[in-house]
Amino acid sequence: MKKIQMVDLISQYKCIEAEIQKGFDQVLNTASFINGQQVTQFANNLENYLQVKNVIPCANGTDALQIALMALDLKPGDEVITADFTFAATVEVINLLNLKSVLVDVDYNTFTIHPEAIKKAITPKTKAIIPVHLFGQCANMEEILKIAQEHNLYIIEDNAQAIGADYIFSDGTTKKSGTIGTIGTTSFFPSKNLGCYGDGGAIYTNDENLAHKIRGIVNHGMYKRYYHDEIGVNSRLDTLQAVVLNAKLPHLDEYNKKRMNAADYYDKEFANHPNLQVPTRAEYSTHVFHQYTLKIVNSNRDELQKYLLEKEIPAMIYYPVPLRKQKAYFSDDYKDQDFIITDQLINQVISLPMHSELEDEQLKYISDNILMYFNTKN
Ligand SMILES: *Cc1c(COP(=O)(O)O)cnc(C)c1O
C-alpha cells in the first residue's frame, strides 16, 4: 500500500505532467513570467466555469480577501462579521485594514457561520459579512443574503475551501459557491481543491464597477502605466502558476467527484457509530470535501489522533484554537456563552486524509483502524 498522506500532489501531477511541462516550456522560452497570456486565459476559463462576469487573479487567497475589502471603501472602525471557527487569514486582513473584526459562532452540523449569530452581532457600524465556505460546503447563503439585504451589508464569500461546490436555492436554482455575494475570493494554495504549484488566488464578482476597482488595486492602483489612481498593492498570479491552473481546471469536477467518493466510503464505514459523527451534508449545498471532518463524541479525540499517527495515518485538527482566543485577536468583548458551538467543535473535530488520489485499500486501512480503536476501547 502507498504511504497515506493528508494530500498527495505528486500522484496527481503525474497524470498531467506532459501538459504542464509543455506549458512551462512555453513560458520559459518567451520569458513572459508576469501577466503572460496564460493568466488572461485562466481568468476567462474560470469565469466560464463559475459563470461569473469577472475573475481577477491575484497572488494568494489572503490577498484576495484583503483586496476585496479594500474595494469596498470601508472606513477605519467599520465592523466586519465573520466566523470564530475558520483559518486566520479571514480575520487577519480585516484587522490589517484597521477595520473591526466581529467574530461569531457557527452551526454545529455544518461548521459554517450561524445566521442567528450574525443577526445578534449587527450594529450601526456593521458594513460587511464574510461567510467562509468551510471544509468544502457553502454557508447558508440564502439566510445570509436576507440579512445583508435587510441591513444593507456587503457579502464577501471566502471560497478558499469550496471551489466547485454548488449552492442550491430553495426554488431549485443553483449558483457556484463564491458567486452569490458581492465578491467571492479563493486560494490556489497547493493543497486546495484547485491548487497550483506555489501561491495563487483569485477574486470574482458580477459587479462591473467593483471589478474595475479590483483590477486597479491588484496592480498598484494603475489603469494607465505610471498613473496611480488609488492606493493598491502588488498582487499577481505568476504565469507559470496559470499554466498549472489551466491544466487542472478542466479536471476540477473530476477531482471533486473523487473526493466525494472517498467521503461516501468513510460515511458508510462510520454510519451510526456511537462515537463518530460523519460530516453533515446541508440540503442547500453540494459538498466538495476540501476536508473530511469527523466529530468524536464521548471519547478522547486527541488519543485517537495519537493512535492513528502510530498506524502511520495522518489526521489533523482544523482548527485547534478559536480565533477569538488567539493572542493576535483576543478581546474582552467576547463572552464564552456566545461561542458554545465553536468551543465544543475545537475539542471534537478531526480531519482524515482527503484528496483525489486516495485508493480503496488506503480508505479501508484508515477506516478499519478507526473502528478498531473504538472496539478495543469499548
Ligand atoms: C487557505 C485559506 C485562505 C488563505 O489562502 P492563501 O492562499 O493561503 O493565502 C483563506 N481562507 C481560508 C478559509 C483558507 O482555507
What residue segments make up the domains of the chain, in order of their start? 9-250, 252-377
CB neighbour list of residue 199: distance below 8 Å, 6 or more residues apart: 59, 60, 188, 189, 241
CB neighbour list of residue 376: distance below 8 Å, 6 or more residues apart: none
Give distance in angstroms: CA of 60 to centre of ligand 1. 8
Pick from 189, 194, 293 the residue to mutate for probing ligand 1's pocket: most ligand atoms within 8 Å of its CB: 189
CB neighbour list of residue 232: distance below 8 Å, 6 or more residues apart: 70, 216, 217, 218, 219, 220, 221, 222
Distance set, CA 45 to CA 77, 88, 115, 245 (Å): 38, 29, 33, 10
Residue 60 CA: nearest ligand 1 atom is: 7
pLDDT value at residue 79: 98
Instruction: Please indicate whether residue 61, judged by its CB atom, sits closer than 6 Å to ligand 1.
Output: yes
pLDDT per residue as tens digits for the range 139-165: 999 999 999 999 999 999 999 999 999
Give distance in angstroms: CA of 160 to centre of ligand 1. 5
Atom 3 (ligand 1): residue with closest C-alpha?
A: 61
What is the pTM (predicted TM-score) of this model? 0.97
Angstrom distance (rounded) from CA 348 to CA 344: 7
Instruction: Please indicate whether residue 185, judged by its CB atom, sits closer than 6 Å to ligand 1.
Output: no
Instruction: Please indicate whether residue 199, judged by its CB atom, sits closer than 6 Å to ligand 1.
Output: yes
192 is catalytic: yes
Instruction: Please indicate whether residue 291, judged by its CB atom, sits closer than 6 Å to ligand 1.
Output: no
Pick from 65, 161, 290, 291 the residue to mutate for probing ligand 1's pocket: most ligand atoms within 8 Å of its CB: 161
CATH class, range 252-377: alpha beta
Least Cα distance to 218 among 97, 74, 70 occurs for 70
Pick from 58, 60, 62 the residue to mutate for probing ligand 1's pocket: most ligand atoms within 8 Å of its CB: 62
Angstrom distance (rounded) from CA 202 to CA 198: 14
pLDDT value at residue 378: 61
Instruction: State the helix-helix crossing angle for 239-248 and 9-30, rounded to 10 degrees.
Output: 130
The runs of H, that is alpha helices, within the chain are 9-30, 37-50, 61-71, 89-96, 115-121, 141-151, 208-217, 239-248, 252-270, 301-310, 340-348, 360-377
Give distance in angstroms: CA of 105 to centre of ligand 1. 19
Instruction: Please indicate whether residue 60, judged by its CB atom, sits closer than 6 Å to ligand 1.
Output: yes
Give distance in angstroms: CA of 190 to centre of ligand 1. 11
Residue 45, classified by CB atoms within 10 Å of its CB into exposed (0-12), middle (13-18) or buried (19+), is: middle
pLDDT tens for the chain, 378 residues long, are 999 998 889 999 999 999 999 999 999 999 999 999 999 999 999 999 999 999 999 999 999 999 999 999 899 999 999 999 999 999 999 999 999 999 999 999 999 999 999 999 999 999 999 999 999 999 999 999 999 999 999 999 999 999 999 999 999 999 999 999 999 999 999 999 999 999 999 999 999 999 999 999 999 999 999 999 999 999 999 999 999 999 999 999 999 999 999 999 999 999 999 999 999 999 999 999 999 999 999 999 999 999 999 999 999 999 999 999 999 999 999 999 999 999 999 999 999 999 999 999 999 999 999 999 999 876
9-250 has which CATH code? Answer: 3.40.640.10
| 252-377 shares the fold of 9-250 | no
Instruction: Please indicate whether residue 158, judged by its CB atom, sits closer than 6 Å to ligand 1.
Output: yes
pLDDT value at residue 247: 97
Angstrom distance (rounded) from CA 257 to CA 263: 10
Distance set, CA 312 to CA 284, 353, 365 (Å): 36, 11, 10
pLDDT value at residue 62: 98
Give distance in angstroms: CA of 324 to centre of ligand 1. 18
Greatest pairwise CA separation for the chain in angstroms: 70
Catalytic residue among 100, 127, 176, 192: 192
pLDDT value at residue 377: 77
Instruction: Please indicate whether residue 62, judged by its CB atom, sits closer than 6 Å to ligand 1.
Output: yes
Give distance in angstroms: CA of 47 to centre of ligand 1. 20
Which cell is 144 given?
445570509
Length in residues, the chain? 378
